[in-house]
Amino acid sequence: MASVSRFINSPEKVRAETRERIRLAIQECNYRFNFVAKVFSTQRTQTIGLVIPTITNTVFADSTRGLQDEATRHGYQVLMVNADYDSAAESRLVRHLLERQVDGLVLTVSDPHGPIARELADAGTPAVFLFSTLSEGPVSSVGIDNERGGFDATTHLADLGHERIAMLAGSFATSDRSRHRYDGYCRCLSTRGLTLDPQLVVQIPYGLEYCREGVLRLMQTANPPTAIFASNDLMAIGAMGELRSLGLSVPRDVSVVGFDDVLMSSYVAPRLTTIRQPVYEMGRRAVQMVLDALGRGEQSVPRHVILNHELVVRESTASLHRA
């Protein structure tokens, strides 16, 4: 029994002869290793739990790639679940993952300042928030400065001469990233002396399918915007599709900026101007931080890292053509 365990985990510790004996026995009773029993015994799953808001936005897929690569490099698995932008689901899934004894957690949640932060800190399982901009709090984080991202995106539009700049925002309730990007949008407006027209800000649920109504609300006002800043690329692409349906041309009639720089954004027509996040690197860093905390044990203090973003100008934005 013990020798079999040794055989499996460090074959060099058992004599060649015994090794052979074991190999045969294994063949004989076509034995299959029981990972669950191992976990039960060691209390280590070699698994990192990942909670993402949705599987349909490929930013999360891209960061997952970085996460996955780094994890496998260290012999860890990734257990991914999606919460569908539902904060109740987030808590439920975190509990599920903790019950399943994941060694660490990486999560993108609607509100990293909410009760979930305490839950995580109490659980004693290393965790890091991904994508959010945090500078404090009991659980670590890695992201970009979403407020500055929003500021930069809006500034780009203002630089092009736009004055009626709308924001097509993902619902703040389900994403603090969207809220921070909105903060940056506001700051830019006030820096430029532009008025913040509440009619030019609409919040919609995440997902392409909700863009229609949002764009309609924006464009059917008395004084419609000449530029739209969308919370993410998916919504920007959705918005462009809707604008086209309304007979408007991007960027001639309306400029559009997105956020994330999803691969798709450089293939759509027109190619999307956007804020690039270093998502692959973010994913990598997140697992590094988890493994780091795992190494340190209890006495590790939360860290908050903020990576650089970058404005990528493509075809969906243009100078305001004054009528």
> Which residues are at the interface with DNA (CB under 7 A)?
1-6, 8-9, 13-15, 17-18, 31-34, 37-38, 40-43
Question: Could you tell me which of 79, 77, 75 has the C-alpha nearest to residue 98?
Answer: 79
What residues does 306 pair with on adjacent strands?
Answer: 143
Contact of 52 with 83, CB cutoff 8 Å: yes
The distance of closest approach from Cβ of residue 311 to its own copies in the complex, given in angstroms and rounded to an integer, is: 21
User: Which CB sits closer to DNA, 28 or 136?
Assistant: 28
Which of 221, 269, 296, 313 is close enough to bind its own copies by CB under 8 A? Answer: 269
Q: Which does 8 bind (CB under 5 to 8 A by kind): DNA, its own copies, none?
A: DNA
273: which DSSP letter?
Answer: B
The distance of closest approach from Cβ of residue 171 to its own copies in the complex, given in angstroms and rounded to an integer, is: 19
Q: Which does 4 bind (CB under 5 to 8 A by kind): its own copies, DNA, none?
A: DNA
51: which DSSP letter?
Answer: E
Contact of 47 with 77, CB cutoff 8 Å: yes
Q: Which does 196 bind (CB under 5 to 8 A by kind): its own copies, DNA, none?
A: none
Which are the contacts of 108, defined by CB distance < 8 A and separation ≥ 6? 51, 52, 53, 60, 129, 130, 131, 132
Contact of 48 with 287, CB cutoff 8 Å: yes
User: Which CB sits closer to its own copies, 3 or 101?
Assistant: 101
The tokens for 323 are 């009528």
The interface with its own copies within residues 223-252 (CB under 8 A) comprises 237-238, 240-241, 244
Decide: is 3 part of the binding site for its own copies (CB under 8 A).
no
The distance of closest approach from Cβ of residue 168 to its own copies in the complex, given in angstroms and rounded to an integer, is: 14
Nearest-angstrom CA–CA distance, 314 and 237: 13
The distance of closest approach from Cβ of residue 90 to DNA in the complex, given in angstroms and rounded to an integer, is: 23
Q: Tell me the H-state helices in the chain.
A: 2-9, 16-28, 35-42, 58-73, 87-99, 115-123, 146-159, 176-191, 211-219, 233-245, 279-296
Q: Which does 322 bind (CB under 5 to 8 A by kind): its own copies, DNA, none?
A: none
User: Which CB sits closer to DNA, 15 or 322?
Assistant: 15
What is the contact surface with its own copies in residues (CB under 8 A)?
32-37, 39-40, 45, 55-56, 58, 61-62, 64-65, 68, 77-82, 96, 98-101, 208-209, 211, 237-238, 240-241, 244, 263-264, 266-271
